[in-house]
Amino acid sequence: NLLERASLLCDGPVLEPHHVEEALTPEFSRMARVEAIAPAPALTRTAADPTTVGGESPLSWQALGRDLLRTEVQAHRGSRAELAKRLGVSERTLYRRLKTLEGKPD
Protein backbone atom coordinates (compact mmCIF):
# COMPACT_ATOMS: atom_id res chain seq x y z
CA ASN A 1 0.00 0.00 0.00
CA LEU A 2 2.80 2.42 0.83
CA LEU A 3 4.45 1.98 -2.56
CA GLU A 4 1.10 2.34 -4.31
CA ARG A 5 0.44 5.60 -2.45
CA ALA A 6 3.97 6.81 -3.22
CA SER A 7 3.45 6.01 -6.91
CA LEU A 8 0.46 8.37 -6.93
CA LEU A 9 2.79 11.17 -5.84
CA CYS A 10 5.41 10.36 -8.48
CA ASP A 11 5.37 12.37 -11.71
CA GLY A 12 7.69 10.03 -13.57
CA PRO A 13 8.77 6.39 -13.75
CA VAL A 14 11.13 6.51 -10.71
CA LEU A 15 10.02 6.56 -7.07
CA GLU A 16 12.27 8.74 -4.94
CA PRO A 17 12.59 8.89 -1.14
CA HIS A 18 10.53 12.08 -0.88
CA HIS A 19 7.58 10.31 -2.56
CA VAL A 20 7.61 7.67 0.18
CA GLU A 21 7.95 10.34 2.89
CA GLU A 22 4.95 12.23 1.50
CA ALA A 23 2.93 8.99 1.31
CA LEU A 24 3.59 8.47 5.03
CA THR A 25 2.10 11.83 6.07
CA PRO A 26 -1.05 11.68 8.23
CA GLU A 27 -3.04 13.70 5.70
CA PHE A 28 -2.24 11.34 2.83
CA SER A 29 -2.96 8.32 5.04
CA ARG A 30 -6.34 9.85 5.96
CA MET A 31 -7.21 10.25 2.27
CA ALA A 32 -6.19 6.63 1.63
CA ARG A 33 -8.46 5.42 4.46
CA VAL A 34 -11.40 7.34 3.00
CA GLU A 35 -10.76 5.82 -0.43
CA ALA A 36 -10.52 2.35 1.14
CA ILE A 37 -14.07 2.68 2.49
CA ALA A 38 -15.51 2.99 -1.02
CA PRO A 39 -15.85 -0.38 -2.74
CA ALA A 40 -13.42 -0.92 -5.59
CA PRO A 41 -14.89 -1.65 -9.01
CA ALA A 42 -14.56 -5.21 -10.26
CA LEU A 43 -11.60 -5.70 -12.57
CA THR A 44 -12.57 -7.10 -15.94
CA ARG A 45 -9.29 -6.59 -17.78
CA THR A 46 -5.75 -7.80 -17.31
CA ALA A 47 -2.76 -5.59 -16.55
CA ALA A 48 -1.63 -6.01 -20.16
CA ASP A 49 -4.98 -4.63 -21.33
CA PRO A 50 -5.39 -1.09 -19.90
CA THR A 51 -8.70 -0.29 -18.26
CA THR A 52 -10.90 2.21 -20.01
CA VAL A 53 -13.77 4.22 -18.61
CA GLY A 54 -16.90 4.64 -20.66
CA GLY A 55 -15.15 3.50 -23.84
CA GLU A 56 -12.64 6.34 -23.60
CA SER A 57 -8.87 6.05 -23.77
CA PRO A 58 -6.99 4.23 -20.97
CA LEU A 59 -6.49 6.08 -17.69
CA SER A 60 -3.07 6.25 -16.08
CA TRP A 61 -2.23 6.83 -12.42
CA GLN A 62 -0.99 10.26 -13.46
CA ALA A 63 -4.32 11.07 -15.13
CA LEU A 64 -6.22 9.96 -12.04
CA GLY A 65 -3.93 12.10 -9.88
CA ARG A 66 -4.52 15.12 -12.13
CA ASP A 67 -8.28 14.61 -11.93
CA LEU A 68 -8.12 14.40 -8.14
CA LEU A 69 -5.97 17.54 -7.98
CA ARG A 70 -8.38 19.44 -10.26
CA THR A 71 -11.30 18.45 -8.06
CA GLU A 72 -9.51 19.49 -4.87
CA VAL A 73 -8.36 22.83 -6.35
CA GLN A 74 -11.88 23.66 -7.52
CA ALA A 75 -13.42 22.77 -4.15
CA HIS A 76 -10.76 24.49 -1.99
CA ARG A 77 -11.43 28.01 -0.70
CA GLY A 78 -8.20 28.83 1.10
CA SER A 79 -4.50 29.36 0.62
CA ARG A 80 -2.24 27.05 -1.34
CA ALA A 81 -0.43 26.26 1.91
CA GLU A 82 -3.71 24.98 3.38
CA LEU A 83 -4.44 23.00 0.21
CA ALA A 84 -0.98 21.40 0.29
CA LYS A 85 -1.52 20.43 3.93
CA ARG A 86 -4.96 19.01 3.11
CA LEU A 87 -3.48 16.93 0.27
CA GLY A 88 -0.57 15.80 2.42
CA VAL A 89 2.11 17.19 0.11
CA SER A 90 4.66 19.97 0.42
CA GLU A 91 3.86 23.40 -0.98
CA ARG A 92 6.64 22.89 -3.54
CA THR A 93 5.10 19.62 -4.74
CA LEU A 94 1.68 21.28 -4.99
CA TYR A 95 3.23 24.17 -6.95
CA ARG A 96 4.86 21.72 -9.41
CA ARG A 97 1.66 19.76 -9.84
CA LEU A 98 -0.38 22.93 -10.43
CA LYS A 99 2.12 24.06 -13.08
CA THR A 100 1.80 20.67 -14.76
CA LEU A 101 -2.01 20.96 -14.65
CA GLU A 102 -1.78 24.36 -16.33
CA GLY A 103 0.50 22.91 -19.00
CA LYS A 104 3.48 25.04 -18.02
CA PRO A 105 6.99 23.53 -17.97
CA ASP A 106 8.97 23.38 -14.71
Per-residue pLDDT at 56: 54
Residues 6+ apart with CB under 8 A from 19: 6, 7, 9, 10
Per-residue pLDDT at 101: 80
Long-range contacts of 9-18 (CB under 8 A, 24+ apart): 9/65, 9/89, 9/93, 11/62, 11/96, 11/97, 11/100
pTM of the predicted structure, to 2 decimals: 0.41
Long-range contacts of 83-88 (CB under 8 A, 24+ apart): 85/27, 86/27, 87/27, 87/28, 87/31, 88/22, 88/25, 88/26, 88/27, 88/28, 88/29, 88/30, 88/31
Name the residue ranges covered by the structural domains of the chain: 2-42+60-101
Per-residue pLDDT at 30: 59
Residues of the chain short of pLDDT 70, as ranges, are: 1, 28-59, 104-106
Q: Alpha-carbon distance 20 to 14, whole Å?
A: 12
pLDDT in tens, 47-75: 555 555 555 555 677 777 778 888 888 88
